[in-house]
């Protein structure tokens, strides 16, 4: 009855089909109210299903334009919503009447055996987009309709909300993750960081492009917890008030896709050869690093250190520490088809490597199969997971030498420094800073691990992207029939080349990725494949 009443305010906009995909639901912010209301209903049911544990809802569209928005559900361990619930989300947000909506929820309750008498607890947060307040209001009304207990987390980075959920649900247990407050988050990260860099003061300043998003606010808070004697940071693109500034010519996605500095940064005072920089995305769950080999005005000066390079740096470092510590655990790495071929080759010589389809949930689950699972998408979204057994071994191993003791201590602090719930720009930034500081490396030394193969990512607009069906972790097309054979034929004409085609999970397009051993041949290959697709 309550749902029927509340539904009147949240009819589905006509002529639109929403999908709960790799990044939850994402589209123009001004047509998302009905989806937010309905996702709130489902989140309350999810909490009930999990025995009243806290679950989360995050309103953000990450690296997308400011006018876009989205909503993602967070499960009780601080991870993405269990995938078997995603189809119910899609059905609920597409229901055309209160009756249809209630039928979807009834079906969910029955199939998933949800006990409606269990109380629900849901926390919600949002990024800096102008449509957030209106969408959060819809979330609040949905939760009220379900009689859920709610916690308003307010402005948060996506990984902070994941942290809060995990910390709340593990409070007072042997797996306690930290104090379940925003301050608790900074406290946990900064204490671990201080231990790891003790006696190694920073030699240089890190420039951070905050994408004019929530990361600017979070970084400012983090700086209150880490003194300058331990971390020197210069935050740029921190304007969260000016309309249209978010992700505009800046941010991790812009830098990775265009393989260049944020727009206009080359003119900024103090940006010069040798500078180490990084960029967050709009909700601060991604990070890419880069540095300047020469004058900032010259395009060739720019060198990208993307998610693959971060994964290689982290996997190598952890592998060394584990060996030095004498703990019987294995480090593994998870990538997607977008990983640069050179990075895969480099990693495979050192650790076991798995390839999964795009989307963090796939990588996350694959990484759980390793004792220490390093996972990163090339675009900079990733983290490292330590299995419970691995954590236990690290804590219980008695060191056989001072060097082993030091390695064990480092591993213990790294477990705290890394946000294991999801990719986290702030935590990943601290991790990279720790590793560089420990090795006394500059970016050039980090970069020298391997040379990226020249690569290109293109968007192709097609009539129906759902006609494109893939297999083998998205590396091969099975539909439209015959297209893969044509792609293979074209790729074979180029030296050390690779290309694949897949439908985007977040935009209405098909993506073409191409890599070629010879830089001069890359455009011809990428455009050739795009032509086959269009
Ligand atoms: P789609 O639109 O499915 O390619 C993009 C990114 C993913 C992931 C999601 C979620 C690329 C090529 N794709 O997915 O890696 O981050 O967004 O944000 O970068
Ligand atoms: Zn993001």
pLDDT in tens, 117-137: 999 999 999 999 999 999 999
Mean of all residue pLDDT scores within the chain? 96
Cα–Cα distance for residue pair 446/293, rounded to 1 Å:
13
Binding residues for substrate: 377-379, 502-506, 511
- Considering the chain, what percentage of its residues have pLDDT values greater than 70? 100
Q: What's the pLDDT band for 507 if we cut at 50, 70, 90? A: confident
**Strand blocks (E) in 345-410:** 353-356, 372-376, 382-386
Residue with tokens 């104090």: 179
Which pLDDT belongs to residue 265?
97
Which pLDDT belongs to residue 344?
97
Neighbours of 6 (CB within 10 A): 19
Which pLDDT belongs to residue 140?
98
pLDDT for residue 145 is more than 90: yes
Q: Exactly one of 47, 62, 301, 343 is catalytic; which is it?
A: 62
**Sign of the CA dihedral with 477 first, then 305, 69, and 336 last:** positive
pLDDT in tens, 73-106: 999 999 999 999 999 999 999 999 999 999 999 9
Q: What's the pLDDT band for 23 if we cut at 50, 70, 90? A: confident
Cα–Cα distance for residue pair 223/202, rounded to 1 Å:
14
Which pLDDT belongs to residue 506?
80
Mean pLDDT of 347-363: 95
pLDDT in tens, 234-275: 999 999 999 999 999 999 999 999 999 999 999 999 999 999
Binding residues for Mg(2+): 62, 281, 283, 285
The CATH class that applies to domain 2-155 reads: alpha beta
- For ligand 1, mutation pick of 86, 159, 358 (most atoms within 8 Å of CB): 358
Which pLDDT belongs to residue 1?
60
Mean pLDDT of 225-229: 97
Which pLDDT belongs to residue 306?
98
Name the phi and psi angles at 275, rounded to 5.
-65, 135
Does domain 183-304 fall into CATH 3.40.50.720?
no
Contacting residues for 230 by C-beta, under 8 A, at least 6 apart: 193, 194, 197, 201, 202
Closest-lying ligand 1 atom to the alpha carbon of residue 381? 16
pLDDT in tens, 429-476: 999 999 999 999 999 999 999 999 999 999 999 999 999 999 999 999
pLDDT in tens, 335-347: 999 999 999 999 9
Complex ipTM:
0.97
**Strand blocks (E) in 24-130:** 25-28, 54-59, 68-74, 121-126
CATH number of this structure's domain 307-424, picked from the four choices 1.20.1630, 2.40.50, 3.40.120, 2.60.40: 3.40.120
Is 62 annotated in the active site? yes
Among residues 24, 46, 52, which one has the least CA distance to residue 36? 24
Cα–Cα distance for residue pair 378/347, rounded to 1 Å:
14
Strand partners, 149: 121
82: DSSP letter:
P
**pTM score, two decimals?**
0.96
Annotation: CATH topology of 455-533? TATA-Binding Protein (3.30.310)
11: DSSP letter:
P
For ligand 1, atom 19, which residue shows the shortest CA distance?
379
C-alpha pair distances (Å), 323 with each of 68, 79, 195, 391, 449: 46, 29, 21, 15, 20
**Which of 43-47, 361-365, 411-415, 505-509 has the weakest average pLDDT?**
505-509
- Helix crossing, 86-94 with 98-111: angle to 10°? 160
Q: Is the CB of 23 under 6 A from ligand 1?
A: yes
Mean pLDDT of 163-170: 98
Cα–Cα distance for residue pair 88/96, rounded to 1 Å:
14
Cβ pair 281, 262 in contact under 8 A: no
**Strand blocks (E) in 22-177:** 25-28, 54-59, 68-74, 121-126, 149-155
List, by residue range, all CATH 3.40.120.10 domains of the chain: 2-155, 183-304
Among residues 394, 390, 399, 353, which one has the least CA distance to residue 374? 353
């Amino acid at each position: 009855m309550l749902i029927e009443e509340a539904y009147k305010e949240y009819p589905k906009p006509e002529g639109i089909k929403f999908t709960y995909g790799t990044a939850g639901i994402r589209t123009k912010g001004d047509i998302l109210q009905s989806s937010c209301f309905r996702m709130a209903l489902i989140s309350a049911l999810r909490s009930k299903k999990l025995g009243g544990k806290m679950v989360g809802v995050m309103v953000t569209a990450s690296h997308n334009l400011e006018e876009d928005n989205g909503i993602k559900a967070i499960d009780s361990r601080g991870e993405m919503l269990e995938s078997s619930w995603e189809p119910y989300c899609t059905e609920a947000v597409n229901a055309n009447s209160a009756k249809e909506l209630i039928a979807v929820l009834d079906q969910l309750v029955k199939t998933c055996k949800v006990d409606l008498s269990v109380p629900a607890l849901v926390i919600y947060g949002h990024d800096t987009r102008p449509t957030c307040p209106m969408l959060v209001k819809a979330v609040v009304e949905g939760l009220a309709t379900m009689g859920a207990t709610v916690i308003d987390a307010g402005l948060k980075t996506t990984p902070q909300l994941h942290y809060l959920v995990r910390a709340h649900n593990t409070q007072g247990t042997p797996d306690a993750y930290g104090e379940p407050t925003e301050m608790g988050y900074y406290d946990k990260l900064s204490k671990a960081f201080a231990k790891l860099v003790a006696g190694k003061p920073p030699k240089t300043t890190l420039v951070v492009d905050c994408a004019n998003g929530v990361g600017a606010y979070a970084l400012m808070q983090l700086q209150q917890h880490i003194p300058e004697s331990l971390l020197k940071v210069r935050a740029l693109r921190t304007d969260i008030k000016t309309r249209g500034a978010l992700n505009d010519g800046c941010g991790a996605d812009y830098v990775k896709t265009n393989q260049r500095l944020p727009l206009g940064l080359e003119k900024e005072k103090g940006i010069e050869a040798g500078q180490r920089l990084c960029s967050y995305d709009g909700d601060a769950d991604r990070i890419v690093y880069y540095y300047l080999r020469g004058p900032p005005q010259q395009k060739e000066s720019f060198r990208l250190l993307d998610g693959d390079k971060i994964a290689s740096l982290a996997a190598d470092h952890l592998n060394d520490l584990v060996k030095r510590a004498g703990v019987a655990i294995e480090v593994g790495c998870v990538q997607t088809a977008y990983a640069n071929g050179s990075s895969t080759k480099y990693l495979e010589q050192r650790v076991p490597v798995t390839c999964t389809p795009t989307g963090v949930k796939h990588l996350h689950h694959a990484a759980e199969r390793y004792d220490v699972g390093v996972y990163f998408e090339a675009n900079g979204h990733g983290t490292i997971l330590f299995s419970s057994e691995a954590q236990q071994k690290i804590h219980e191993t008695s060191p056989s030498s001072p060097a082993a003791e030091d390695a064990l201590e480092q591993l213990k602090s790294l477990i705290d420094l890394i946000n294991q719930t999801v990719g986290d720009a702030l935590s990943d930034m601290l991790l990279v800073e720790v590793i560089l500081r420990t090795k006394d490396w500059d970016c050039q030394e980090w970069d020298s691990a391997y040379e990226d193969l020249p690569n290109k990512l293109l968007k192709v607009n097609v009539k129906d992207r759902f006609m494109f069906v893939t297999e083998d972790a998205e590396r091969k097309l099975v539909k439209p029939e015959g297209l893969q054979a044509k792609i293979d034929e074209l790729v074979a004409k180029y030296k050390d080349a690779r290309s694949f085609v897949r439908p985007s999970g977040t935009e209405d397009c098909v993506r073409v990725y191409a890599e070629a051993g010879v830089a001069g041949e890359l455009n011809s290959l990428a455009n050739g494949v795009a032509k086959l697709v269009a």
